[in-house]
Amino acid sequence: MRLIPALTALLVTAVLYLAVFERDRLIEFARGTSAGDTAVAAQPDAVAADAGGDTAETTMPAADSMAASDAGNVADTLEDAVAVEEKLVRVVVRRSVAQEIDNAVVLRGQTQADRQVEVRSETTARVVSAPLRKGSFVETGDVLCRLDPGTREATLNEAQARLREARARVPEAEARLQEAHARVEEARINDNAARKLSQGGFASETRVAASQAAMRAAEASVESARTGLETAQSGIQSAQAAVAAAEAEIDRLTIRAPFAGLLESDTAELGSLMQPGALCATVIQLNPIKIVGYVPETEVHRVSTGAIAGAQLANGAQARGEVIFLSRSADPQTRTFLVEIEAPNPDLAIRDGQTAEILISARGAQAHFLPQSALTLNNDGQLGVRIVEQGDRVAFNPVSLLRDTVQGVWVAGLPDTADVIVTGQDFVTEGVRVAATYTEATQ
């Protein structure tokens, strides 16, 4: 039973001898490059076997197990010796598998009123209505400013009287036209009779000439009567235009809200003189609310109208809607494209001009979840990660950042399965061999 410790001592002595005095040959043996040295390296094992003799054949199974364990320790010692000789850098590697994630286009933008208008006066008059205060809610058609009518009612009455007078002239002009047509017909009959009598010698040429002159005079009277009728009809149209102008002027005295919304400013004060273009009030509509942002040209192909979008405001409030507009023309300064999102705002909690972080849904993408510390830069300043390829060689793989979270980052650009260096990537370069220790992913 004392044979096992003796064999172990001999085996350890042989290993120490080889590691100290036969270092170069041991390294060649580990690399498998010299068959001659292999036989030399194996000689201590043969000596150990001869020393055992027949006694080794009678060793119990437990002794064989101890010898196998010692042999494994020796193999580990040889492997460590090789690693020390080649000066391999130890790194921590994570085997990452691509996952499909819901992708989104992230923008910075702001809220904007769906509609905003400055209601201004179209005429000159004094305000005779009490002002409405800013912040008040108004419905479509509510009176914002009422102006003094002055003499506009009298002007309207005068225009209406002229219209009635012009309409009364039309029947008289039509009667004159009919009378002129009758005279033409009478003159034509007289002219025909004079011609026939003149041909039979019963009438003189003077009578024929007189009948022709009468017919021409009758035709002229027809033209005059027609002109009189057209003048009467023109008078009607002119009078109608005057009436319409007077009515429109009176309508301008009442300034109404064009749509339902909030007053952003006080209406004009009582007694103030309004001139054409003077501001009566500013009305904004906040339901629905618009959220506007600018999409970079590298992401615009991922955005489409009708896409679901959400926004988070600086105060933590959230809104959800859809894309209603995507510009086809880029801003010449920033090379970005305007995008508008419409979201419901029934309680008017979202105000105009608030900063918002916008997320627009897009097609899913294959991505890897890695710790932020795994990201590094190559010599050209390109963002990426270092991975371990076949032969434990290091390679640099560029990546693009898709999403940043507290736990890590989602990146694209890696193969479906990649051995990513998560610790020690800044101490190795492309092409070098490393001693990799694998760790499990946390997500």
pLDDT tens digit string along 178-215? Answer: 888 887 787 788 778 777 777 766 666 777 677 778 77
Give percent above pLDDT 70 in the chain.
81
CATH of 283-361, one of 3.40.50.720, 3.40.50.261, 3.40.50.1980, 2.40.30.170: 2.40.30.170
User: How far apart (Å, rounded) are the C-alpha atoms in residues 254 and 144?
Assistant: 8
Helix (H, G, I), strand (E, B) or coil at 354: coil
Q: 103 falls in which pLDDT band (50, 70, 90)? A: confident
pLDDT tens, position by position, 372-418: 999 999 888 899 999 999 889 999 999 988 778 888 998 988 999 99
Model pLDDT, residue 46: 34
CATH number of 152-251: 1.10.287.620
Amino acid 31: pLDDT: 61
Q: Residue ranges of the domains in the chain?
A: 3-85, 93-100+366-439, 152-251, 283-361
Work out the end-to-end distance of the chain between its first and last CA atoms, rounded to an integer number of angstroms.
53
- Letter for the amino acid at 280? C
Domains 152-251 and 283-361 equal at CATH topology level? no
* 93-100+366-439, CATH topology level: 2.40.420
Model pTM score: 0.52
- pLDDT at residue 235 in the model: 86
Q: What is the DSSP letter of 295?
A: E
Tell me whether residue 21 is exposed, middle or buried, using C-beta atoms within 10 angstroms of its C-beta: 0 to 12, 13 to 18, 19 or more: exposed
66 pLDDT above the threshold of 50:
no
